Amino acid sequence: MTMLTPTPAGEDPLNHIQWVPAEDLDANAWNPNRVHKPELRLLEHSLLTTGWIQPILANPDGLIIDGFHRWRLSQDSKAVRARWNGRVPVAVLDVDRPTAMLMTIRINRAKGTHVAVCMSAIVRELIEDHGYDPQQIAKEMGATVDEVNLLAQDGVFAARGISNWAYSPAWYPTEDGKKAVTK
């Protein structure tokens, strides 16, 4: 493997993006983040429609700090692999293993979670103010049409029986895909 060139000290990593073969990078063993298949398909859709808007972060040895799922898609998705000839954009940070571990967790935690009430407001605006079709919204945000229709209801979270709806596992703070238990 070729050693990657680290970002010069004190400079912004985004000013030093390198396009490297995906196979020159390696997954770290500590990443606690998991992405379910529907969200991976959504990530693939995003890469193919919008392009790379965020580089992978790695150390000079090619160990991934952030961007594992984008990197994985760059190898597993024929369309993604073909579009960029197996190459990925990388910002290289010269950090030690403990710093890389902490960065992985900090970056993933800082991405946050979706709050369903806010998602409902977005869906309603897309439908009511911008004329979007629920099927189009479902495709673009990686949801089912039933989820979009539920989010589109006015006062949906005051409705009785809301806990009986089966949402995508990404809507829950679980990693095993099981339905969240509410009491």
Residue 21, strand partner residues: 87
Contact (Cβ atoms closer than 8 angstroms) between residue 130 and residue 124: no
Q: Which two tokens stand for residue 19?
A: 């396009």
Is residue 180's pLDDT more than 50?
Answer: no
pLDDT the model gives residue 112: 65
Predicted TM-score (pTM) of the model is 0.68
Is residue 177's pLDDT more than 50?
Answer: no
Is residue 149's pLDDT more than 60?
Answer: yes
Domains along the chain with CATH numbers: 13-110 (3.90.1530.10), 116-171 (no CATH)
Contact (Cβ atoms closer than 8 angstroms) between residue 4 and residue 20: yes
pLDDT the model gives residue 172: 45
Task: Give CA–CA dist 163/165, Å, rounded.
Answer: 6
Lowest mean pLDDT among 28-32, 50-54, 80-84, 91-95: 28-32
pLDDT digits (tens, 9 = 90+) for 20-63: 999 999 998 877 777 888 888 999 999 999 999 999 999 999 99
